[in-house]
Each structure stands twice: as structure tokens, then as C-alpha cells.
Amino acid sequence: MRKFLLASLLALSFFTGHSQVKNKVKLQAMYDSIKAAGIREPAFVMGQCIQETGWMACKQCCLRYHNLFGFYIKGNKCKKFSSDEECIKYYKTWQDKRYPKWAAKHPKGTYYDFLKHAGYATGDKYTRELKPKVEWVKKNLIL
């Protein structure tokens, strides 16, 4: 049983790693778009994009509506965008409304703290899931 479990875990890690490499060009392009839009903390925001879209490969998430960051509207429905660019502009506006005031009050706070404060991340689970993705971005994309 242990051998089966170990083999399963190894296979899962291989396929997860393979999908990351396969999408690396797409992920780099998305990161470049986020950075070009002037969004603060682009590595963190790209981590959010990866988290919310399943490495830009999700078939049953908000990605089908060009919703790169998992924004929801009333009734717990995915906010729909006409393009990825529109979604990135929305994130920039969302961030610009909230981040400067928060940063002035919390100069030593992290972006993870900001996401919690803004109501984007509702708990520590999201931070735990986001951290490895942000680290992947920092190690694998051209910043």
C-alpha cells in the first residue's frame, strides 16, 4: 500500500511539474502583462493568477470568463470580463483603491497581509496555498 501511495504521489508531482513547464511561455506572457499594467507586487499577483486559474489551464473556473484572479460578484458568481487585458485593468483599479491607504497604515505589512485586509484572502489557507506559487514565479519567470 505504501509503494502504491508513493508511486501515486510521484506521478502527481511529475504531472504538476510538467503542466507548469508546458505553460511557462503563457505564464511569462501573463506576468509581463501584469507588470506592464503597473500593478504593485507583480510576482504576488501572478501567484494569485496561478492559484485562481490552475496554472492557466483550468476548464471549470472563472478563467473561461477571462477572470484571471477569481473575482466574484453578488450571488457568488464569477465576474465576467471581455478579455484578459480588461481583467488586468480591473485588478489595477481594485488594487489602486485599496493598497495605498493600507500600506500607509501598515508600512511593515506584507502583500499577504494586504490581501487578507482587503477581503481577497479570507484566511490563512489561501496564504499557505499562494506562497509556493509566488516562490515558483520568483524562481522561474523573468522578473
pLDDT digit string (tens) for 86-115? 999 999 999 999 999 999 999 999 999 999
Cβ pair 115, 102 in contact under 8 A: no
CATH number of 25-140: 1.10.530.10
First to last CA, the chain: 43
Distance (Å, rounded) from C-alpha 84 to C-alpha 122?
24
For residue 2, pLDDT beyond 50: no
Burial class (CB in 10 A: 0-12, 13-18, 19+), 134: buried
The pLDDT of residue 22: 61
Cα torsion through 60, 90, 38, 66, rounded to 10: 30
For residue 37, pLDDT beyond 80: yes
For residue 35, pLDDT beyond 90: yes
Residue position matching grid coordinates 485586509: 117
Distance (Å, rounded) from C-alpha 49 to C-alpha 59?
14
The pLDDT of residue 13: 44
For residue 19, pLDDT beyond 70: no
The count of other CB atoms within 10 Å of the CB of residue 46 is: 27
DSSP annotation string for 67-86: -SS--EETTTEEPP-SSHHH
The pLDDT of residue 38: 98
The pLDDT of residue 106: 97
